[in-house]
Amino acid sequence: MEENRNEELSREGAETETTETAKQETAEPEQAEAAGVESEAGQPETEAPGEADGEEAAADGEEPKKKGFFGKKKKDKRDTQIEELTDRVQRQMAEFDNFRKRTEKEKAAMFEVGAKSVIEKLLPTVDNFERGLASVSEEQKADPFIEGMEKVYRQLMTTLEGIGVKPIEAVGQPFDPNFHNAVMHVEDEEAGENIVVEEFQKGYLYRDSVVRHSMVKVAN
C-alpha cells in the first residue's frame, strides 16, 4: 500500500514540474515580445531624408516653412493672397486718386467757363453805364440821380473786381492780338509803331483769361 502511494505522489510531482516548465516556456516569448515593443516605442523616430531637405523645423508651435528646389523658402498660399489683395488695393487707390484729381480739374474748368459766360453777359450793362456817365456834363454831375448811378456803377465794378474780373490795358500799350482786336489803323507820327492810340470798347480778363478782347485803333 505504501509503495502504491509513493508511486502516485511521484507521478503528481512529475506532472506539476512539467506544467510549471511549460508555463515558463510560454511566458519567455511573451516577455521578449513586450521588451521589443518597449524598445521600439522608446527609440525616437528618424526623419526621412526628403523631409529634412524640404522643410525646416517649426519653432514655438509654428507651421514649418517649406523650401524650394534650391533651398529658397516657398511662399505660403496665404502670403500670396495677401500680396495680391494688397497690390489690388494700392492700384484701386491710385486709380481713385487720379479720378479725383481729374474730376476736380474738370469741375474747375466747368466753373471757369460758366463764370466767363455770366461775366460776358454782364459786360454790356457795364458798357451802358460807362456811356451814360461819360455823356453827363459837369453841371449834371451834382444831380442826385447821377450821383446814385455813379455809386451803382462803382459797386458793380468792385464786385466784378472781387471775383477776379479786371479791364485790359489798351491805350498807349503795344498792340497784342492776344488781348486786342484792331478795327482801325492810322498813320500818326507822334505815336510809336504798332501802338494802340484809341479804345472803342473796353476788354476784360477773368483770372488771366480773356473774356472779351479790347476793340482798338492802332497807329503805324
Domain range spanning residue 84?
A: 77-163
Mean pLDDT of 91-99: 93
Total domains, the chain: 2
Domain of 127: which CATH number?
3.90.20
Instruction: Report if residue 136 sits inside a domain.
Output: yes
Q: How confident is the model at residue 181 (pLDDT cuts 50, 70, 90)?
A: very high
Q: For the purposes of burial, counting CB atoms within 10 Å of the CB of 48, is it exposed (0-12), middle (13-18) or buried (19 or more)? A: exposed
- The answer to the question of residue 59 being in a domain is no
> Looking at residue 203, which CATH number applies to its domain?
2.30.22.10
Does 169 lie in the same domain as 120? Answer: no
- The tens digit of pLDDT for each residue in 7-61 reads 555 565 555 555 555 555 554 545 545 444 444 444 444 444 444 444 444 444 5
* Residues 106 and 150 placed together within one structural domain of the fold: yes
Phi-psi region of 17 (alpha: psi -120 to 50; beta: other; left: phi over 0): alpha
Whether residue 157 is found in the same domain as residue 170: no
pTM of the shown model: 0.54
In a domain, 199, yes or no: yes
More confident residue, 79 or 41: 79
- Position 130 in a domain: yes
Same domain, 141 and 208: no
Q: Looking at 122, 145, 163, which one is the last position of a domain?
A: 163
